[in-house]
Chain A
Amino acid sequence: MLVRVAESLYWIGRYIERAECLNRYLRVHYFSTLDANMYENKDFVLRSILYMFQTEWSLKHGLSETDIYKEVLCNSANPLSIASMVCATRENARGIRNNISTELWETINKWYFFVKEEQQAPFNVGKIFPCSSQHRTYLSLIRSDIHNTLLQDNVWHFIMLGILVERLQQIIKMLKSKISDYTILSENGRNESLLLFQYIVLLKCVEAYDLHTAQNRGRMMSLSSIFELILTNGLFPRSLNFIVNNCQFHFQRIIGKPIDDESIEKSFTLIIEKINKFTRSDDEESILKLLDEVDEWSVNIHTKISELFF
């Protein structure tokens, strides 16, 4: 496989995952403000969205709620917006058009034209749900095309590797964001239900709310049950444990054999061990420490992928 093609596939994976995470985060948070308690804390929610958007709250302070949602969803002049992710996905896909299936290409292309159309029309907050739902639909179709219309060879492995590396970084960011929100609200002496609501929002952001409820039927929702699910549950596709294990799988498949480079193999083993052995899911400080370590690992593994393959 061409080096350029491998790199584009990897970045397609990263961009679609980033768009999906941001889209989900935005939708969940927007709906959280429709609840009376949270509406009073609207700025707080917007600050949280901007954190995921990698933008300082102070830079956007004074902008209306509509402006901020529009910026995140539709402004393709801002490279961090969902619209920009869509354009970047399409640009990468176009550059390697002959390496991906017609079905996948056409879905990505339709997604792009949907964004272009949305940009033409005036924006209001009433558009957040339909727009975000459409993104979700396109992303689901893209995932389906990735899994069902490509050979599960290096083309697929590179996209999956991109998805997983990005997912790891986005999940860590969501976790940190919610821990930070929880801490700020606690310090301000907000009521218990508002605090708990932050973790409900977190579960919804990783689409695990129903799953968590089903797993913990008959028990009170607790910090440890939430974090156990998102950090260490090896069966949950958005848990750190699942993501890192699958990164290793795709990495090994691309190499075609168990990884020669001992330091990489060791780094996978170490981080998997660290996540598996983590038992302090009720302690925010310990969680944050683990998140920092996994975050640093994710940056290193990205560098290693670039060095080895691109």
Chain B
Amino acid sequence: MIDIFSDYESKIVGFDELMNDKENGLLHYQIIIDLLQEMSLDDFKAMSDLAKISFLSQGVTYALYDKGGQSTEQIFPFDLIPRIILEHEWEQISKGVKQRNLALNMFMQDAYNEGKIFKEKIIPEELIYTSEHYCKQMVGFTPKGNIYNHISGTDLVRHSDGNYYVLEDNVRNPSGVSYVLTNRIAMQRVLSPLFKQARVVPVDNYADKLVQALWSVSGRPLGEIFCVLLTPGLYNSAYYEHSFLAQKMGIELVEGNDLVVKDGFVYMKTIGGDIRVDVIYRRIDDDFLDPLVFRKDSMLGVPGLMTCYLKGNVTIVNAPGTGISDDKAVCSYVPDMIKFYLDEEAIIPNVPTYLCSRPKELAHVIENLATMVVKPVDMSGGYGVTICDQLSRQELEEVRVKITANPRKFIAQPKIMLSTHATYIDDDEIFEPRHIDLRTYSIFGTNGQFVLNGGLTRTALVKNNLIVNSSQGGGSKDTWVLKKQL
């Protein structure tokens, strides 16, 4: 018999999802607690192993890079205890994410065209021009359907006060959605009785919604649309996801060399001749898209692609240049964008963010550096994040020097205590609280917005670690949005 709460409470720091539920009478996690109580630890380990084997045989792996740049194929660590979000909480999150996506899309349209938001001094213009992801080729151009951020991943955390906050937006190539879908498959295989008791909303409609969104921005009649997913290739850390999504959508997975530009159009090279491509869901960064426009040494892109795009002969999803919204400094302005474009208050607040490019805020950051989390504005995957209260005095000084030398490159946030969740720790064979976050996945087409139910709960596997990214050794959980009981 497993007693998950044995010695659990004493290890909690901050807000714990399970304990919060327990304090409220354990309404939602009860079926999981009951199930665990019926089984031995060996039974649980056997189930956990079964789930791992399921991931391994499916090839659900990612590449983990060491400091020397070498990669090894890893199974994404998976924890069997699901995270539960109640339907009314989810509705609010979903609304907030859609609101955010809409405002960000309006911002990009504005930033690359009229620039009203700059003229009104809501956002300093130089913040955009100095962004590494600013794409001057997009100035004066509007993509089909007027949509830039077709696919977004919004990272949310739940703070000690129990409220959700936005940590950052990912509007270039958010990854991880395949794990949401395969996590659910693994859970249903291993813990099917639970699904009979709980009313868990499904997640398997993501690929259908995505391909419909791709069709919606093709500008071509249904039945004639040809979409492809452009991958950097099988050595990319997210390759599994690329092939998974292409298969689920029923579209071709292509590499740069599979495409060719002729007479202003993009074609896919096939054994029966060339086929015109209408929509490219690219999973490579702007820099590598077209060696004639961006990095000359790119072997991953398609020479001439941008010319076709700017002529309106092909749609690129997400649009080039969306990275300006990925910039963590810009992220701090999203509530202002929401107010400016939609005349609404942000449904989900941001984690307070200090822009080091602003002298006053820089001074505050430097003064309180030991309590801050410092992040580079243009990196993702948890890379470059510095949690200052874990540093020695000398290391702290090094961070200070780095920030003051190039303040535009950094933002700082007060240390947010991500909520914790019961997680099984393989090595110690116990259940312990571990920090988690939530990445939501949204799709934006001319046919409307869609937010995938639940999203990906990422969990840090190391005690007290606040970085949950898979690239930093984190794992994941299935996220259940529970329907209201009838």
Residues of A in contact with B (beta carbons under 8 Å apart):
1-4, 6, 91, 94-99, 102, 105-106, 109-110, 113, 154, 254, 309
Contacts and interface: CB of A to CB of B under 8 A. Distances in A.
A11 to B, nearest CB: 14
Contact of A97 (B57, B59, B271): B59
A91 B247 CA distance: 17
B252 interface: yes
A94 B243 contact: yes
Contacts of A95: 233-234
B253 A94 contact: no
A254 B271 CA distance: 9
B247 A1 contact: no
Contacts of A98: 243-244, 246-247, 252-253
15 contacts: A2-B252, A2-B258, A3-B258, A3-B269, A3-B271, A4-B255, A4-B257, A91-B234, A97-B243, A99-B253, A106-B58, A109-B57, A109-B58, A109-B59, A254-B271
Q: What is the predominant secondary structure among interface residues of chain A facing chain B?
A: helix
Contacts of A309: 271
A105 B56 CA distance: 11
A99 B269 CA distance: 16
Interface in B40-97: 56-59
Contacts of B254: 2
Contacts of B244: 97-98
B223 interface: no
Q: What is the predominant secondary structure among interface residues of chain B facing chain A?
A: mixed
A2 B268 contact: yes
A106 B247 CA distance: 14
A154 B57 contact: no
Contact of A94 (B239, B247, B257, B271): B239
A187 to B, nearest CB: 50
Contacts of B257: 4
Contacts of A154: 271
Contacts of B269: 2-3
A145 to B, nearest CB: 13
A2 B270 contact: yes
B272 interface: yes
Given A3-B269, A4-B255, A105-B59, 5 more contacts: A3-B271, A95-B234, A102-B247, A106-B57, A106-B58
A307 to B, nearest CB: 12
A109 B234 CA distance: 14
Contacts of A113: 56-57
The 7 A-B residue pairs whose C-beta atoms are closest, nearest first, are A97-B243, A98-B247, A98-B246, A98-B253, A106-B57, A109-B59, A309-B271
A109 B239 CA distance: 15
B43 to A, nearest CB: 24
B271 A1 contact: yes
Nearest to B239: A94
Contact of A110 (B57, B252, B268): B57
A105 to B, nearest CB: 7
Contacts of A6: 271
Interface in B209-261: 233-234, 239, 243-244, 246-247, 252-255, 257-258
B35 to A, nearest CB: 28
A93 to B, nearest CB: 9
Nearest to B252: A2
Contacts of B253: 96-99
A96 B271 CA distance: 15
Contacts of B58: 102, 105-106, 109
A110 to B, nearest CB: 5
Nearest to B228: A2
A113 B52 CA distance: 13
